[in-house]
Structure 1
Amino acid sequence: MDESKKRHSRLQSFIDNPSKSLWYLAIPIIAGMGIQTLYSIVDMLFIGRLGGDAIAAVAFNFPIFFFVMGLSFGLGSGVTASIARYIGSNDKVNADNAAEHAVVIAFLISLLLTSLGLIYGKEILFKMGCTLEVLPDAWEYLKISCYGLSFGVFSGFFRSILAGEGDMKFPMYLFGLGTVLNIILDPIFIFLLDFGVSGAAWATTISQIVVFIIFAFMLFVKEHAYVQFKLRDFSPSYKIIMDIIKVGVPASISMIVMALGQLIYNRMLATFSTDAVAAYQVGGRIDMVVFLPIFGIASALTTMVGMFFGANEIEKIRYITKYGISRAVIITSIGSILLYIFSPLIISGFTNDLQIKKIAIDYLRVIAFLFPFIAIGLTIGRILQGIGLGMPSLIITTIRVIGVAGPLAYYFIFIQNKPLEWMWYAMFISGIIATLISVIWLLYAFRKFLVAKPL
């Protein structure tokens, strides 16, 4: 009873003070992702000391991991939005049932992806354009990572469940712990034990196992969450499955499309050199730092818009949408300026290779101008997920990656014989187009769906 009151008062506090509540939800996400991004940067710093081929070995794995992340995080978005709407409408039974469905989905995804990775991983890397010099390290890195994949997928779904009820702090602490452990283990496995590139994979796998064990203990033994898990009594619900799928599947596919875009770009970059692939990987890690606040704001918007939609608080949705998007644009604009100015200094911390440095700096100084537009598109996508619309994000992402960026880059590089930096221009143009479509879709969706329901 006390727990139920606490959760209800959290919903009411969101309604009473939406702008403050946005930061209440966003800051733990930003902090947690900040620690994870710190690990990503530190990991690349360690791997960078092994040489350009080592960086490339990890870079060729990135589309695969992005695919895994896309599938699990995308469906997790459906779980978050579903639970948030059920809690907003005070439907505790279906909120619990949605959480149980999430656990079952996590199990099925884990089983499928681990099997595919271990059986076909090496062949996939080769077909993605991984060179023979880099392939042994790339395959070893992927194979070891597959051992921890299931634990990472489950932990991601646990985080999505808690996000749906507005609990961002506990996942932040737990993923922060895992990231710190990963940072500690990295130099031990890479250098002290002389495992090289595979050492980074072992450090990640061990950290994922530790995080999963703590998550499972707190949720199933200590019953930390507001939602309750009664898996022995679990029975599939078509309504809940569709509720998760209509947001989660498009979100998953959109991230898979982005992974496909990474694959296409890696193959194009590989025609220049492995240095180009490595530079793109380093630049991508730095991009993540700028977008930390935006991911936090966007994730918070999914929860808040979902709860407000379930509670029929239409004007609150309009208010928090304007507030969230405007803050995202301000933050990324500042980040863009700083990154443009200091990119040479930042890149120097990752590699001593002059060619990789030059390519990475050129990439960042083009893409930096796109960041505010990406912030608009990203937050709009998560807002639409909150009201139960997953398809817009998928369609817009497909247009951006498959319809514009890939073909335009191919045209510039292989038909017009333009230099490497024209690949970055193709990304920039596609990002602007996607943002314009996102804004139009948001305005249309609000006119159609944000109509107050009779009480």
Structure 2
Amino acid sequence: MTETRHDGDAVDAPGRDGAVSAVDNRNRTAECIANPRRAVWKLSLPVMAGMGIQMLYNLTDMAFVGRLGGDAVAALTFNLPLAFFFIGIAFGLGTGATSLIARHIGGDDKTAADNAAEHALVLAVGVGIGIVAMALGLRVPILAALGAHGEALHMAAAYFGIVAPGFLLAIVNVTCSSILSGEGDTRTPMAIQGMGTILNIILDPLFIFGADMGIRGAATATVVSQAAAFAAFIVYILVRKQSYVEFRFRHFVPSARIIGDILRVGLPASTSMMIMAVGGMFYNRIVSVFGTEAVAGLGIGGRMDAIYILPMIALSSSQVTLAGMFIGARRVDLIRETLRYTIFWGEVMAICMAIIFWLFAPSLAGLFTTDPRVVDVATHYVRTVCLGFPFVTVGIISGRVFQGLGSGLPSLVTTTLRVLLVSVPVAWVLTRLYGMGLQAVWWSFVGSAVLSSIVAAVWIRRRLAQVEAELATE
């Protein structure tokens, strides 16, 4: 067969038969077009399973660290926004790759999909190296600026110093997962990431308590599990070559156009997650004036929050792939259908989780700590923010559709509105200028979610109408 280089020249290259690949390519898109609702679950359920395992890890990790005391929980809480900040870059690049690969597959252009996957992986390695260097050099001043002090600062710096080198592995893992998702395979990433997460759960108590490493043990377990997942992805994609997209780096020529296509979606997506991470840093700073117990309560509440957020992210993940494929196939009607269908089931999940959180918040918080003050803070946090779940659902799902269409800006705008323009300023004003307590911070989360979801809903409706009109004139 012949292969087209990234610069457009055709060269002989080994690989799958071109006709077989084209048929396989059309079958992938045709299957989603024939039954788009089934495609939502086919793509989402494996991700949900993986998120479920990740959620179990989040809960058990906090429970194990909680046994080390309030300072350890606070140290982990101070680290969460930093980790979210750096990993957010990876998810942004991955989202850009998923969107671009799906659009090329929907448009029946496998060579372009291969090129996009190669560029995404190279970008991930380069960005990962830069992130590790920056993270190691700035961890102590950043943690101190976030409000960590005393023993909590010492423990937070120790934890981050071990976890930071693993960011390179995590970024490559996320990118590999996104590449496979873009081609319509969410089962393999779930299996590999799930394996790594289960390993993390097993290693946590062994390192924390068995090896008497304390919070350093939790960090070490995380890096070891990331390394295991990294090895599995490399074997699957590069050694055994089992992915649909193919990697032929000996023919690799960097393309500014392909990089631009990835970053057009990926950069706003990364920036959105970094904004949320920065928001988390501000929240920690705002809450820290109420004491270490308040920060620990926020951290535990955030882990409980993940019981809702992670499944919602999993459900919405299908929209990047499907919107990309459907826009490539010029089927805006199917984008609308899957959007409405996904929002419906997202709202069902959101309402059910809100009811559960409201009823059982104290019991859930009690799983992580025996400190009554921390339990009280976490309980009030969860019972307040769960009221915003139905609105958050609309924002998350709409944003993923935008990304599938190749538009990253709307998600960035709504995230900026929700976090930096509403939630953080309102929380600061209410607590600092008006002397209100923690409850004011929690209500700022809800208010910002309502406003941003309204903007997202109106925007996606207008954008789909615009895309439909553009396709009709071509």
Letter in 2 for 1:104: V
- Which residues of structure 2 form unaligned runs of 5+? 1-16
What letter corresponds to residue 347 of structure 2 in structure 1? V
Rounded to whole Å, the distance in 1 between the matches of 2:261 and 2:76 is 36
The answer for the alignment partner of 1:439 in structure 2 is 457
1:235 matched residue in structure 2: 253
Matched residue, 1:403: 421
Q: How far 1:203 sits from its partner (Å)?
A: 0.2
1:9 aligns with 2:22: no
In the alignment, is residue 273 of structure 1 matched against residue 291 of structure 2?
yes
Does 1:18 pair with 2:36? yes
Give the aligned residue type for 1:62. Answer: L
**Distance verdict in 2 for CA 1:346–1:222, change over 3 Å:** same
Distance (whole Å) between structure 2 residues aligned to residue 91 and residue 6 of structure 1: 11
Is the aligned partner of 1:62 residue 2:83? no
1:74 maps to 2:95: no
Q: Does 1:418 align with 2:436?
A: yes
SS of the residue corresponding to residue 175 of structure 2 reads helix
Partner SS for 2:345: helix
> Are 2:85 and 2:273, in contact at CA under 8 Å, matched by a contact in 1?
yes
Q: Quick one: distance in 1 between partners of 2:409 and 2:263?
A: 11
- Counterpart secondary structure, 2:165: helix
Aligned position for 1:107: 125
Read off the aligned partner of 1:179 and give its amino acid letter: T
Displacement, 1:293? 2.7
Q: 1-side partners of 2:417 and 2:29: how far apart?
A: 36
Deviation string for 1:198-254 (max 9, x for gaps)?
100000000111110111011011111111111121112222112111111001001
- Contact preservation (8 Å) 2:159, 2:219: yes
Amino acid at match of 2:291: S
Question: Which letter maps to 2:92?
Answer: G
**Match of residue 137 from structure 1:** 155
How far apart, in 2, do the equivalents of 1:412 and 1:81 lie?
A: 40
In structure 1, how many angstroms separate the alpha carbons of the residues matched to 2:154 and 2:61?
19
**Residue in structure 2 matched with residue 45 of structure 1 by the alignment:** 63
Where does 1:39-438 land on structure 2 (aligned, <5 Å)?
39-438=57-456
Deviations 1:25-57 (A, max 9, x none): 000000001101111111001000111100000
Show CA shifts across 1:392-434 (max 9, x none): 1101111111111111011110111011111001111111111
TM-score, with length taken from structure 1: 0.98
For the structure 1 residues 64 and 332, does the alpha-carbon distance in structure 2 shift closer, same or farther, using more than 3 Å as the test? same
Deviations 1:245-277 (A, max 9, x none): 111100100110000100000001111111111
Q: Which of 13, 28, 46 is matched with 2:46 structurally?
A: 28
Query: How many Å separate the matches in 2 of 1:445 and 1:297?
Result: 21
Paired with 1:314 and 1:87, the residues of 2 have a C-alpha distance of 16
What is the CA-CA distance between 1:10 and the residue it aligns to? 2.3
Query: Separation in 2 of the partners of 1:192 and 1:328?
Result: 41
Question: Match for 1:142: what amino acid?
Answer: F
Per-residue deviation, residues 424-455 of structure 1 (Å, max 9, x unmatched): 01111111111111111111211211233578
Q: Secondary structure at the match of 1:133?
A: helix
State the AA in 2 paired with 1:109: V
Check whether the contact 1:312–1:453 (CA below 8 A) recurs between aligned residues: no
Say which is worse superposed, 251-260 or 114-123, in terms of deviation.
114-123
* Stretches of 4+ aligned residues off by more than 6 angstroms: none
Equivalent residue for 2:7? Answer: none
Aligned residues, how many?
Answer: 455
Choose 160-169 or 285-294, whichever is displaced more. 285-294
Distance 1:5 1:364 in 2: 49
CA distance in 1, matches of 2:472, 2:193: 39
- Contact 1:89 1:311 (8 Å CA) reproduced: yes
Deviation at 1:292, TM superposition (A): 3.0
Deviation at 1:120, TM superposition (A): 1.6
Give the letter for the 1:289 counterpart.
I
Q: Are the equivalent residues in 2 in contact too, given 1:412–1:422 (CA < 8 A)?
A: yes
1:272 counterpart SS class: coil
Give the Cα–Cα distance (whole angstroms) in 2 for the partners of residues 126 and 18 of structure 1.
Answer: 49
Q: Secondary structure at the match of 1:134?
A: helix
| Cα distance, 1:3 vs structure 2 | 5.5
Q: Is the 8 A contact 2:332 2:464 kept in 1?
A: no
| C-alpha displacement of 1:7 | 4.1
Q: Is the Cα–Cα contact under 8 Å of residues 288 and 294 in structure 2 kept in the other structure?
A: yes
Counterpart amino acid of 2:213? F
Contact 1:67/1:255 (<8 A) preserved:
yes
Partner residue, 2:12: none
Once residues 229 and 272 of structure 2 are traced to their aligned partners in structure 1, the CA distance between those partners, rounded to angstroms, is 27
Q: Distance in 2 between matches of 1:226 and 1:4?
A: 11
Aligned-partner Cα distance in 1 for 2:358–2:191: 32
What's the counterpart of residue 8 of structure 2?
Answer: none
Deviation at 1:136, TM superposition (A): 1.2
Which one-letter code corresponds to 1:430 in the other structure?
S
In the alignment, is the contact (CA less than 8 A) between 1:4 and 1:226 conserved in 2? no
Q: What is the distance in 2 between the residues matched to 1:109 and 1:217?
A: 22
Q: Is the contact between residue 293 and residue 328 of structure 1 (CA under 8 Å) also seen in structure 2? A: no
Residues 87 and 167, structure 2, Cα contact 8 Å, conserved in 1: no
Distance 2:120 2:263 in 1: 11
